[in-house]
Structure 1
Amino acid sequence: MMERCAIAGACLAVCLPWCTVSGQDVRADGPKQPPVSSRGRLPVTGCAGQPISDIIVITQPPFTDRLPKRLEWVRRTVRRTHVNTRDDVVRRFLLMKVGEPCNQIRRAESERILRAQPFLVDARIRAFDDEAGGVRLEVETRDDFSMIFAPMLQLQSPLLRGMRLGDSNLGGSATLASINWRDGRGYNDNLGVNVENYAFGRGRNEFRLAAQRNRFGQDMRLEVVRPYYTDFQRYAWIGSLGGTREPIEFRRGDLPRNALTVRREFANVGAVQRFGSVGRLRLVGASLTREVQSTDAHSYLLTRDGVRSDTSRAAVPTFRPQRVVRLNALLGVRAIRFVQVQGFDALTGAQDVRVGMQFGLVAGRSMVVRQARDRDNFLAANLYAGFGGTRSFMGLQAVTEGRYDRDTKAWDNFVSSGRLAWYFRPAIGQTTVVESEWSAGRDMRVPFQLSLADREGGVLGHGASRQAGARRLVFRAEQRLVVPTRLNVADVGFAGFAEAGRLWADQTVPYGISTPWRGAVGVSVLAAVPPRSRRLWRVDFALPISADPQRRFEVRFSSVDRSRVFWNDPRDVQVGRERTAPSSLFTWP
């Protein structure tokens, strides 16, 4: 089944960019003429209630500036293969229509919502005098580089370990479609399909579908959500379901890592409504959730040659199953404004940071429905605070959840994580980032460990560490410098960084120990393709500083866009959280 999905995804990725919309060819190099720009008309300093006589959308490809002669082939190739974002897709994110009064706040919010889309580099909305008492709005966007080509290479044979192929703006439709493969060595190869549409249902809705065959399990997820993009929205809603079957491994110091198979099913449907004025409001809603989880009692080893029995005498942890249906109350309080900045999470690209405070709360109580016999209360809280401006900014986000078992009269499955960060940009091309990240788990009902080896939450140079704990604290500092270039192909920069982290044990988390501080220092090569893209490509060269016997010099390649959301849980924290907490609904982009 997964092989058929992968073939279908590949065919879709090849065919869709050449389809037509409303009888017109939408290829970047096709005969369709772009809208006429308003350059030369009298610009308007701002919207002040003038009627909107027309809205013109101008979409630009990734490389708009001419490149040096020896690199001009790059620009031509991209323009031939790239499909600009369609006009009707851009219009779905606008909060204004022809005939309505021009409102400055709605104009700024529309511009910000467009900038928040991962398939765009930047967006601007300008107002021009139409010489008839009204205004003509010009919406100009520039696409990000949409081709996805990510080979996974290794030094020993075979050199090619895996591959991800796709397009992040398929046919200019704001749709990401990709297929991936990874060599399973002694197990099944990993095969997966991922589809994400950011303008689903001809509106500002998001659709996500992911299907993955793992080494000897699977991961299936489906989600349709209308995030709370702007205070002008009245409603936001979510519907999701999915299921996973996967092994969770434990780090046990000198013993080889063992694994337990975890099976989970989840479903969620909910909505919130806005009360209050723009900028200061409350969100009130409800959701119905279902969660089923079970962990095998048999422990085994995942070796390079396949599955082996665990013959060590170490105790095997046990976890209680869960089968629960809950009715949840959703509450949110928000007093937020947005400030446009450059060069914070991106190398030089623009992003909008949230200044102010917001708080989200999920409070649920279980119901006895058929086989769902668990009796509990569930509580999750999400706090964000941001202060500063374009030169200096400090942000804090903390996410905590826990479950109260009404039979045992005790709290369990307590998971907490967060990030505190300070950005300082004293001059163009220079950025200092100082941050701390923390994570913790206690009395877990699913296999759970934290380590400094985690790719997102750990410390560079310690990817092979065998030590684990229940709480983790990591400090990071980075100084970035953008190098001027006239090539117009990419923005380039360098960075120096230092990291330090440690773990603490808890008797409720298996095999956990308390460690001394571990550290790493290094340098990075940074790039953004095309220029001003918010996706940051980097190569990190890290030298570990610690007594961990598994420390090693590390060269890490990565590509990530962190400009949309201030904080995302690391992978080893996500596995411990309830799958039905509406994180997508309360993303607050």
Structure 2
Amino acid sequence: MCSLNAAAQAEKVPAVDFANSCGNNRVEAQSDQNLSRQLDSKQTYPEPAEGKKVVAITLKQLNVFDTDKPEEDNALFRFANRYHIQTKPEVLKSVLLFQEGDAYNPKKLSESERLLRNQSYLYDARIYAVENCDGDILVTVVTRDLWTLLPDLSFSRSGGENTSRIGFRESNLFGWGKRLSFTHIQEVDRSGYQFVYDDPNILNSRYRGRVEYSDNDDGERHYIDVSYPFFATDTPYSYGFTSYSDKREEPIYSEGETISEFSQSTDVTQVYFGHSKALSGSWTRRLIAGVRHEQHTFREIADTTLPIAQDRTLTYPYVQAQWFEDSYVKVRNFDSIYRTEDLNLGWNINALFGYSAESWSDDTERLVYSFSANTAHYTSDHSLWRFYFDVSGNWNKDTDKTENLIAKTTFQYYLNTSLYESWFINASYTYGNNLTFDNQITLGGETGLRGYPIKYQQGSRSMLLNIEKRYYWEYDLLRLFKIGGAAFFDVGRAYHSHLPIEADESVLKNVGIGLRLAPSRANSDIMVHIDLAAPINGPDNVDSVQWLLTVKNRF
């Protein structure tokens, strides 16, 4: 056995793992049948030891469809496999945090697996490791490609308003992992054309870049970003540059109707440098220093009926600190259907502080601050809660008051009654103080109150409660979608308006049912929602039934 070469040793990993670990109908271990819905809980890597090296990396790339299975062996799926350009091996290897000859570190294997699953052109990924007779490590990387060249065609109706997209999108250009799209977009507030090019690994390096340009009927927008990110938990440094400019006409809503509009121009430029340091246990601390320039300009137009915000300019150096706890587990049937999800049970804490002096910005002196924290925790072997908190705003020296202070707290609770059914509760509260006239906190069909029109209520405070019975049926519709469903009850209220208008601030309620479609061969990071919702004792100006067709990234 010890005379076998590295490739042959790598083949000792059971073939069933290669065929099914990233497949649409994987063979599951008995340990995967648990109500916490954790996957691979029994998977272990060889123990690390001084001198152990990774001596071979073997790639096992699965195509979009498995035509060895009778149900997928048809002319259409064979055609798709034949003309699909598979991801280049060097692209996959550029994502890995280790190379042949590196010292063996099982944490780098686990994190590399997560990074691969995070790529938009892959449905799933697994990394296996075995020890050869010399005590070195043979690694096998298993991935399954997605079909990435797609027409960007969609139609959504939410709260009585229509949106549509017509164009194309390629998220793995020629197999090199680049993303390119050109789309005509018709939204509630504007319509126009959008071009996007995103390169997550420039020349197979760790540098990434993104370019966006939009030409809309109310203005234009550009976005340029080039950065060397914290691509791994132990990446020692990061730096980048961002330029953003957007000119548009913004509406003010009340009871789902536009009651005023104004023109807004926003220009943002930012440069930064960050340093990372590993702390005790699984914690990492990152410190970032940068300079940011923001300019917000407002103008009245023909449809302006309410006061508009005053122009704002901020130019400020800032310091940002992040504390990140790496405590990932693999799960299924939380935010997606069937697909492997990476859930972090650790904390992610961010704090930023900046100072915009009058001499720099030629505007009033401001202190800039933001703070966010989120985590998740299993409360039992079949229940999980998530917590999110963020606050941001400015302190205006001239008024000696906060400005655009917005704080939001969200609690989510999952109670898994079986492998395929859950109760889900989402409770959130948003608090705003001294908001300028360009900022609204809204509640309606697009923000969780599904029985009401888009942005039906507005104010500087809001509260929302969603209760859902979720069904993760995992039925494979046409071998293209995994199917789920939900029955839901929503109740919420937006109130304490800072605008000079009379508005409905009553508590609103609705019930409804919906289908969930999770693509399993393309665009696996989205979820199609088809919902029917009915208001409970709703106002006379709201339809008795609302139907919503929306595309989100979660169940």
TM-score relative to the length of structure 1: 0.79
Q: Name the structure 2 match of 1:96.
A: 98
Q: Residue 101 of structure 1: SS of its match in structure 2?
A: coil
Aligned partners of 1:514, 1:505: CA distance in 2, in Å?
10
Q: Name the structure 1 match of 2:294.
A: 291
Aligned partners of 1:129, 1:430: CA distance in 2, in Å?
40
Deviation at 1:371, TM superposition (A): 5.9
Please tell me whether residue 407 in structure 1 is matched to residue 398 in structure 2: yes
Contact 2:316 2:360 in 1 (8 A): no
- Structure 1: which 4+ aligned runs deviate by more than 6 Å? none
Aligned partners of 2:492, 2:506: CA distance in 1, in Å?
8
Q: Name the structure 2 match of 1:327.
A: 317
Q: Name the structure 1 match of 2:329.
A: 339
Q: Which of residues 281, 284, 297 is equivalent to 2:284?
A: 281
1:192-207 to 2 correspondence within 5 Å? 192-207=194-209
Deviation at 1:209, TM superposition (A): 1.7
Q: Residue 496 of structure 1: SS of its match in structure 2?
A: strand
Distance 1:255 1:54, change over 3 A: closer
Q: Which of residues 556, 560, 563 is equivalent to 2:552?
A: 560
Aligned partners of 2:301, 2:469: CA distance in 1, in Å?
45
Q: What does the per-residue CA deviation read over 1:170-223, in whole Å, with 9 as the maximum and x for residues that have no partner?
A: 2222222111114699x9951111122222352344422211112221121112
Aligned partners of 1:70, 1:41: CA distance in 2, in Å?
25
Distance 1:523 1:55, change over 3 A: same
**What amino acid does structure 1 have at the position aligned with 2:469?**
Q
Q: Residue 477 of structure 1: SS of its match in structure 2?
A: strand
Q: Name the structure 2 match of 1:470.
A: 460
**What amino acid does structure 2 have at the position aligned with 1:361?**
A
Q: CA RMSD in A?
A: 3.1
Aligned partners of 1:407, 1:228: CA distance in 2, in Å?
38
Q: Name the structure 2 match of 1:86.
A: 88
Q: What does the per-residue CA deviation read over 1:211-269, in whole Å, with 9 as the maximum and x for residues that have no partner?
A: 11122211211123444343221123332111111111112459852201011100111
Q: Residue 439 of structure 2: SS of its match in structure 1?
A: coil
TM-score relative to the length of structure 2: 0.83
Contact 2:288 2:320 in 1 (8 A): yes
Deviation at 1:287, TM superposition (A): 0.8
Deviation at 1:555, TM superposition (A): 2.4
Q: What does the per-residue CA deviation read over 1:327-383, in whole Å, with 9 as the maximum and x for residues that have no partner?
A: 001112233411111111001111111112232111001145666443211011111
Q: Name the structure 2 match of 1:547.
A: 538
**What amino acid does structure 2 have at the position aligned with 1:39?**
E
Q: Residue 293 of structure 1: SS of its match in structure 2?
A: strand
Q: Residue 89 of structure 1: SS of its match in structure 2?
A: helix
Q: Name the structure 1 match of 2:444.
A: 453
Q: Residue 427 of structure 1: SS of its match in structure 2?
A: coil
Aligned partners of 1:41, 1:189: CA distance in 2, in Å?
52
**What amino acid does structure 2 have at the position aligned with 1:376?**
R
Please tell me whether residue 38 in structure 1 is matched to residue 10 in structure 2: yes
Contact 2:256 2:455 in 1 (8 A): no
Q: Name the structure 2 match of 1:169.
A: 172
**What amino acid does structure 1 have at the position aligned with 2:167?**
R
Aligned partners of 1:133, 1:162: CA distance in 2, in Å?
55
1:503-542 to 2 correspondence within 5 Å? 503-506=494-497, 508-511=498-501, 513=503, 515-530=505-520, 533-542=524-533
**What amino acid does structure 2 have at the position aligned with 1:505?**
H
Q: Residue 95 of structure 2: SS of its match in structure 1?
A: coil
Q: Name the structure 2 match of 1:305.
A: none
Unaligned 5+ runs, structure 2: 1-6, 16-43
Higher mean C-alpha displacement, 137-146 vs 417-426: 417-426
Q: Name the structure 1 match of 2:29.
A: none
Paired residues in the alignment total 510
Q: What does the per-residue CA deviation read over 1:439-480, in whole Å, with 9 as the maximum and x for residues that have no partner?
A: 34332345122222352x241131256542222222112222
Distance 1:178 1:370, change over 3 A: same
Unaligned 5+ runs, structure 1: 1-34, 302-309, 564-589
Aligned partners of 2:145, 2:489: CA distance in 1, in Å?
34
Q: Which of residues 375, 388, 396 is equivalent to 1:385?
A: 375
Contact 1:470 1:509 in 2 (8 A): no
**What amino acid does structure 2 have at the position aligned with 1:438?**
Y
Aligned partners of 2:246, 2:370: CA distance in 1, in Å?
22
Q: Residue 228 of structure 1: SS of its match in structure 2?
A: coil
Q: Name the structure 2 match of 1:16.
A: none
